[in-house]
Amino acid sequence: MNPEEDVLHVEGGKPLNGTIKVRGAKNFVSKAMVAALLAPGKSVLKNVPEIRDVHVVSDLLRLHGVEVDVDGANGIVTIDASHVQLADVADVDTLSGSSRIPILFSGPLVHRLGEAFIPALGGCNIGGRPIDFHLETLRKLGATVDKEHKDGIHITAPNGLHGAKIHLPYPSVGATEQTLLAAVLAEGKTELSGAATEPEIMDLVCVLQKMGAIISVDVDRTFRIEGVKELSGYTHTSLTDRIEAASWASAALATHGDIFVKGATQPEMITFLNVFRKVGGKFEVTDKGIRFWHPGGDLHPVAIETDVHPGFMTDWQQPLVVALTQANGLSIVHETVYENRFGFTKPLVQMGATIQLYRECLGSLPCRFQQRNYKHSAVIFGPTPLTGRDIDVPDLRGGFSHLIAALAASGPSDVHGISLIDRGYADFRGKLEALGADFD
């Protein structure tokens, strides 16, 4: 992309008002596309957002001989995985920095082809996202993992994959998805304890069940997967992206706006909605979506701790922090999922926010980062007026948060690196235009 095209000039200080539509969840759609690899035949995924991650996964699938048709206007992706083949290492490597999805190709490719090659992984720089959980899972299922390959990781299974008992020391979303995708066709039974149970994972379970998998879920975060001999294609409509919906809700709050998010659904957002109400925001749930607005008057400070589902989602906190800079008093955010998620606050401080980061755990939840020298707690004092400035986007959610700050600030801002935002926010420029934002 031309560097000049990767900058958004924003004139802030104007409330965002209007209606936008949010489609399927970024964190589910890409995984459902990978699941189609498990079955020869055609799969149809609906309510798909027009985001860059969808095109990255489409390209990766095509490199492996899969036919992919993306109807962006109608949000439908059709995948025919009848003929799967090994991709050229050099071709796969050209996409290696674009996404962390390739590691999830491992199980399906090993089942279909007997081997998989995984390039170096990309993704947002928000802290440690080790693939060790993924690789250990594959080893326990019987895979041989060669990490010494100069271009990435080579995975084989000379004797096929077999069921195993697997325990995750932390409920990692990626490792849970890896286990599900690898275990459904493994011989025998797999027990996965300590699993993540996010709504996007449960929607993936629904897809796999439609394909013919046998998966049960216990209340103690344990999945039991009985391997089957074959799977077939699926037709499925994705759940709505709860992260994008909450991001626009925070934008309404920060800009004193009023936004109706078509497609937003309440069940996946209950925890966020409780906090939104405590801060002083108003919302109305309808059959078609959720309306979020700033009712006027003071916003209230809150104390938040991020956690795995059903706790307060880590991807919700960054946009909300921008709104909290306008709350009357002291707010505390304790990040327990990623150790480096507060890097995005530095530009907010430069815009006028009062935010102090701490290495201590400012909360009551058990935290992996205690006494590990990570600044993973934030204290936000408000309200403080924000003033526009030049901003460099650090990652997907932090980038959208900076965009919110620019919209809430008085005066102009230049937001650099906005292509990162395209990874998870479909047509955000069109949505900003629909909400009356002043930008070019």
How far apart (Å, rounded) are the C-alpha atoms in residues 280 and 256?
11
Least confident of 151-165, 174-188, 301-315, 324-338: 151-165
Same domain, 317 and 374: yes
pLDDT > 70? residue 149: no
User: Does 26 count as an annotated binding residue?
Assistant: yes
337 is in an annotated binding site: yes
* Domain residue limits at 394: 7-22+240-439
Dist. CA 182–CA 180, nearest whole Å:
6
Q: Residue 123's pLDDT is what?
A: 45
Span 242-251, mean pLDDT? 98
Q: Is 124 an active-site residue?
A: yes
125 is in an annotated binding site: no
Q: Are residues 178 and 265 in the same domain?
A: no
Give the three-class secondary structure for 408.
Answer: helix
139 assigned ligand-binding residue: no
Q: What is the CATH number of the domain that holds 168?
A: 3.65.10.10
Please tell me the pTM assigned to this model.
0.93
Element (H, E) at 209: helix 199-211
31 plus 17 within the same structural domain: no
For 302-358, how does the pLDDT look when each residue is reduced to its tens digit (9 = 90+)? 999 999 999 999 999 999 999 999 999 999 999 999 888 999 999 999 999 999 999
Same domain for 31 and 16: no
Task: Select which of 124, 206, 361, 367 is catalytic.
Answer: 124
Instruction: Tell me whether residue 100 is in a domain.
Output: yes
100 is in an annotated binding site: yes
Indicate whether 294 and 433 sit together in one domain: yes
**Whether 419 and 393 share a structural domain:** yes
| Domain tally, the chain | 2
Q: Which of 17, 31, 435 is nearest to 257 (CA)?
A: 17
Task: Please check whether residues 15 and 34 belong to one and the same domain.
Answer: no
Distance (Å, whole) CA 124 – CA 54 = 16
